[in-house]
């Protein structure tokens, strides 16, 4: 995905992105119950997926997790710059999907962030990292108590949303939206334009303007907006 589109996506709200997606017939793109650990960090990057299934005793050999075979550990060592590790935990927060050390490793690999509809452990430590992270809950239990990491980079569900590897994942203080890769560029560009227009509309409302003819904008307001945008471009 073009770096300039990813960068532009960091400046657009998830609310506006969902509006633009709905205009294109995509009505289920905002992840339910997946909340930011730090609302001050913005997330944008391409999806790298990890799918958990319910744990079963014969799926987890006794002893320490083997970094060479565990799909969880292989995913951590495979994400790269611009990737968002998106974890399908079936919305089950009874045990963590990963903890602070693995999150730190993901940060060091240059990934853009982590999203899970399951839980994190070591949540206070993860919150200290300069890494956008979103989760459905918190749990002190290790992942293997409830989950088994089954697949890497396959289509998954996260927070009730379908996510395919390479989809654009965008997060802000409200939550996370998944954008199909094929329409990501047009959606982001249209959303950025909408956000600019609504910034102008908000300024008028804060100055005391009625919403009549302003929200939604009539022709006069749109002309004023174009003038405002040109003046802003001149600096």
Q: What pLDDT shows up at residue 231?
A: 87
Q: Write the pLDDT tens digit of every residue in 141-156.
A: 999 999 999 999 999 9
CB 108 within 8 A of CB 81: no
Q: What is the mean pLDDT of residues 39-56?
A: 97
- The arithmetic mean of pLDDT across residues 81-97, rounded, is 98
Provide DSSP, 112-181.
Answer: -EEEESSEESSHHHHHHSSS-EEESEE-SS-GGGTEEEEEESS-EEETTEEE-TT-EEEE-SS-EEEE-G
Q: What is the mean pLDDT of the chain?
A: 96
Query: Which of 91-100, 203-212, 213-222, 224-233 is the least confident region?
Result: 224-233
Residues 90 and 55 grouped into a single domain: yes
Position 223 pLDDT exceeds 90: yes
Residues 79 and 24 in one domain: yes
Q: Do 136 and 191 belong to one domain?
A: no
Final residue of a domain: which of 156, 181, 206?
A: 181
Rounded Cα distance between 101 and 66, Å, is 15
Percent of the chain with pLDDT over 70: 100
- Identify whether the C-beta of residue 66 lies closer than 8 Å to the C-beta of residue 76: no
Those residues with Cβ within 8 angstroms of residue 170's Cβ, 6 or more apart along the chain or in another chain: 9, 10, 12, 14, 17, 43, 44, 176, 177, 179
User: Is residue 3 very low, low, confident or very high in pLDDT (cuts 50, 70, 90)?
Assistant: very high
Q: Are residues 120 and 212 in the same domain?
A: no
Residue 72 above 90 pLDDT?
yes
CA distance 32 to 160: 6
Q: For the chain, how are helix, strand and coil distributed in percent, rounded to 5?
A: 35, 25, 40
What number of other Cβ atoms are within 10 A of residue 17's Cβ? Answer: 27
pLDDT recorded at residue 64 = 82
Q: How many CB atoms sit inside 10 A of residue 31's CB?
A: 26
Residues 155 and 192 in one domain: no
Mean pLDDT confidence for 86-94: 98
- Please give the residue range of the domain that contains residue 158: 3-181
Measure CA 87 to chain center: 11
Which pLDDT belongs to residue 147?
Answer: 96
109 and 86, same structural domain? yes
Number of domains in the chain: 2
Identify which has the larger pLDDT, 52 or 232.
52
Helix, strand, or coil (residue 75): helix
Say which DSSP state 93 is in.
-
Distance CA 80, CA 75 (A): 10
152 shares a domain with 82: yes
The 10s digit of each residue's pLDDT in 117-142 is 999 999 999 999 999 999 999 999 99
Confidence of residue 46 (pLDDT cuts 50, 70, 90): very high
Are residues 11 and 195 in contact, defined by beta-carbon separation less than 8 angstroms? yes
Co-location of 155 and 206 in the same domain: no
47 plus 143 within the same structural domain:
yes
Averaged over 211-224, what is the pLDDT? 95
Distance in angstroms (rounded) separating the CA atoms of residues 17 and 231: 26
Q: What is the pLDDT of residues 147-197, one digit of tens each?
A: 999 999 999 999 999 999 999 999 999 999 999 999 999 999 999 999 999
Identify the pLDDT of residue 15: 97
pTM for this structure? Answer: 0.94
167 shares its domain with 121:
yes
Is residue 193 domain-shared with residue 84, that is, in the same domain?
no
């Amino acid at each position: 995905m073009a770096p300039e589109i990813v960068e532009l996506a960091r400046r657009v709200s998830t609310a506006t992105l969902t509006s633009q997606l709905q205009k294109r017939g995509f009505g289920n793109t905002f992840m339910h119950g997946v909340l930011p650990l730090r609302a001050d960090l913005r997330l944008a990057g391409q999806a790298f997926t990890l799918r958990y299934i319910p744990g079963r005793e014969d799926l987890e050999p006794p002893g320490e997790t083997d970094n060479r075979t565990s799909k969880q550990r292989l995913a951590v060592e495979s994400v790269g710059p611009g990737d968002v590790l998106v974890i399908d935990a079936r919305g089950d927060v009874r045990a963590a999907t990963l903890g602070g050390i693995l999150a730190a490793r993901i940060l060091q690999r240059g990934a853009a962030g982590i999203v899970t509809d399951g839980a994190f452990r070591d949540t206070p430590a993860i919150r200290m990292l300069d890494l956008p992270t979103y989760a459905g809950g918190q749990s002190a239990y290790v992942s293997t108590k409830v989950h088994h990491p089954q697949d890497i980079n396959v289509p998954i569900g996260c927070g009730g949303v379908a996510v395919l590897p390479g989809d654009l994942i965008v997060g802000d203080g409200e939550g996370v939206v998944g954008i199909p890769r094929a329409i990501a560029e047009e959606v982001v560009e249209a959303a950025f334009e909408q956000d600019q227009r609504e910034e102008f509309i908000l300024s008028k409302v804060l100055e005391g303007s009625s919403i009549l003819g302003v929200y939604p904008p009539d022709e006069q307001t749109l002309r004023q907006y174009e003038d405002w945008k040109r003046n802003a471009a001149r600096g």
